[in-house]
Amino acid sequence: MSQNSALPDMQQEIAANLAAIHSAIAAQAESVGRPVDAVTLVAVSKVQPLEKLEAALAAGQRVFGENRVQEAKAKFPALRERYADIELHLIGPLQTNKVKEAVALFDVIQTLDRPKLAAALAEEGRRQGRLPRLFVEVNTGEEPQKAGVTPAELPAFLAECRDQHGLTISGLMCIPPVEEEASLHFALLAELARRNNIPDISMGMSGDYELATRLGATHVRVGTAIFGERVKHQAESEEAHG
């Protein structure tokens, strides 16, 4: 079968996957008394080919998550010429030398995790006259190999962002340790958001987005359940943000 003849099947599969995920999110939200539209589905499109992004766009998906500034820059400006309402989230680590490009390209940066990055974002936001919405990444498992501020550090970091850099933090994000019960970390992030008056909560991926929805997520980051498995050699070095 040629690649082109396989496209309709792929498009139908992605559209069906998106419909099933939206239905599951709505059902889980309703089960705990949340509005059925309380959760935004962020389609994690890192290392996915353009045909799959096009299929998701054709099915009505508009919110996407990318791990790397350069990859997003290669894919999304052209897509935005045809789909002006795309909302693009950075869900991977951000180096300070990529801040200028990230501020210009992304609508949301979910991985603010250190004072140096906060300062760079504030400066670049003033320079460009725009700033993406900002989420702080919280290392709920306090894992030394992972980015993110610890729960204990969060109040001081939020105050520094606000008072020293003039930043508004609209969300918190976490990636639970793979060997621990995700519900404990989701509940902790939701409590941290409540305690610090943060409206948005990004948590839950392909394997646990329904649980995250029940526990208060406003954004879930889903890749594999929409697009299928990523190509192994491309995905090996990717950090598991979706």
Q: If you compute the radius of gyration of the chain from its CA atoms, what whole number of angstroms results?
A: 18
Out of 137-141, 175-179, 180-184, 229-233, pick the least confident.
229-233
Residues in the chain: 242
Q: Give yes or no for a contact between 74 and 94, defined as CB atoms under 8 angstroms apart.
A: no
Domains, the chain, with CATH or none: 3-235 (3.20.20.10)
Q: How far is CA 210 from the centre of its chain?
A: 16
pTM of the model: 0.92
What is the C-alpha separation between 86 and 62, in angstroms, rounded? 5
Strands 40-44 and 87-90: unpaired
3-55 pLDDT tens trace: 555 668 999 999 999 999 999 999 999 999 999 999 999 999 999 999 999 99
163-220 pLDDT tens trace: 999 999 999 999 999 999 999 999 999 999 999 999 999 999 999 999 999 999 999 9
- What type of residue is 141? G
80-117 pLDDT tens trace: 999 999 999 999 999 999 999 999 999 999 999 999 99
